[in-house]
Amino acid sequence: MADLIYYSGTMDSGKSTLALQVDHNHRARGRRGRVFTSRDRAGEGIVSSRLGLSVAAIEVDPDFDFWGYVVHELTHAERIDYIVADEAQFYTTHQIDTLAKIADELDIDVFCFGILTDFRTCLFEGSARLVELADRMLTLQVETLCWCGERATHNARTENGEMVTEGEVIVVGDIEDPDRAAPQVGYEVLCRRHHRRRMTAAVAQASALSPDVLPFAD
């Protein structure tokens, strides 16, 4: 029987690298699959890793119909033995339900990869449903580190170097106020302690350089 498997981790933990490796391993054994992604950093229709590897993929937007796509392929003499679904945290609940249905009713293995929680420490919609439905959920073994050297467990969003905990889950830029320059939006992984304190690497460095925190300051 086919499985629905979810590989999760923080940013920089090698999720997309593993997705590419899983696809390669199955193809090397003569299996035929499809690779999907959503909002990859490299652009639409690409799965890319920070190691410089990439493959073409099918872009998943909120209206994408997995069942319709797979059934169409199968009824047109195409073969699908497995599905690799990267950036699965961005998928809708319905899309995750459909991937489970594909595994159960069409006997196609589904391998999902994604981030568990957003910058607010809340579960992404797709990740929440995968936690509920997956046959297996595996945490990636490549540990990411906070700037302090401790294990990173949380994803943080920064604007102009300052951590933010409110706003849209997906940010493409500040277009609401034409008189305000668009903030420099970035992401960083932190341990729970420094996420709670909103202490990013930039904030920590600025604090260390501040005379207010030096014991010998006047």
Residues that are catalytic: 87
* Whole-number Å distance between alpha carbons of 140 and 9: 6
Structure tokens at 141: 């073994």
In contact, 143 and 11? CB cutoff 8 Å: no
In contact, 115 and 11? CB cutoff 8 Å: yes
The stretches of the chain forming alpha helices (DSSP H) are: 15-28, 66-75, 93-106, 125-133, 192-196, 201-209
Backbone angles phi, psi at 32, to 5 degrees: -120, 130
